[in-house]
Amino acid sequence: MRNRKFVKPLLIVVAMILVCIMSVFATLAYLTAGDTVKNTFTVGNITIDLEETIVDEYGNVVEGTGAGTTDVGNEYKLVPNREYTKDPTITVDKMSEDCYLRAIITVTKGKALADLGYTEDIDPATPAINVTEAFQFKWGEGWSVYDVNYDNNGTTDNTADDVYVIEARYANKVLYNENDQIFKVFTHFTTPDVTNTELATLEGMEITVNAQAIQADTFIDENGKSAMDNAFAALEEAANA
């Protein structure tokens, strides 16, 4: 009888403990919390502008009324061995993504330049680097000539169809910035040191600058080429598609 009396209260205590434990677990099951992460997507972009300082026909910077910049270009009266201000300037607009910059400079009258002795061979297989020496471009900080090619478009006379195409590149990746960033491709050029008669063969010559930018993101060094090389190769492929 003693054992039974002892066991009964013990069972009751155990049962009460179990009830308490179950009650605690039931309460914990409803102690929950939640949170939501909202992802917002915006589209990146690259915006550039190309302008140059307004100058007179002799390459002197215009002061006062009429001064400023132009996105059309200037007209020049060529004189042998004279330095002219010509400063094609690229502005990378604020908030633009990281990018690479280059300028495609087209110089017409290529055959006439060749006849002046600024190249030994105008065959496309041997690009005439000397065309940059003919005009002694003063390159802006960080800019240099990457490649030069001659394109005669099937002609042999001294026409605007005979052109030299100069590819100049900015050495560094242009990084995202909250302010506009300015890059001068070159600042001056000098006419060849030749006679007036020889220089006259360049009548109607044009120097055209085409500024280009491409995103730096996603391009890497691979296949023996730099990330910049691969970026501009992709740009050319897209343009020719």
Give the Cα-Cα-Cα angle 234, 90, 48 (nearest 5 degrees): 60
pLDDT digits (tens, 9 = 90+) for 27-45: 445 555 666 677 777 677 9
Q: Using CA atoms, how far apart are residues 187 and 136, in angstroms rounded to an integer?
A: 11
- Count the neighbouring beta carbons within 10 Å of the beta carbon of residue 227: 16
Tell whether 17 is covered by a domain: no
Tell whether 4 is covered by a domain: no
Range of the domain at 199: 48-240
Burial of 130 (0-12, 13-18, 19+ CB in 10 A): middle
Tell whether 31 is covered by a domain: no
Q: Quick one: CA dihedral 213, 218, 219, 221, positive or negative? A: positive
Tell whether 27 is covered by a domain: no
Q: Which residue has the higher pLDDT, 27 or 209?
A: 209
Nearest CA to 201 among 121, 118, 104?
A: 118
Domain total of the chain: 1
Looking at residue 122, its pLDDT comes to 47
Nearest CA to 81 among 188, 207, 8, 221?
A: 188
Give me the helices (H) in the chain, please: 2-28, 110-113, 130-135, 196-199, 227-240
Q: Using CA atoms, how far apart are residues 116 and 110, in angstroms rounded to an integer?
A: 10
Q: Using CA atoms, how far apart are residues 50 and 86, in angstroms rounded to an integer?
A: 12
pLDDT digits (tens, 9 = 90+) for 93-143: 999 999 999 999 988 888 888 778 765 454 545 545 567 878 899 999 999
Yes or no: say if 165 and 192 are a contact pair by the CB < 8 Å rule.
Answer: no
Phi and psi (nearest 5°) for 73? 120, 180
Tell whether 148 is covered by a domain: yes
pTM of the model: 0.78
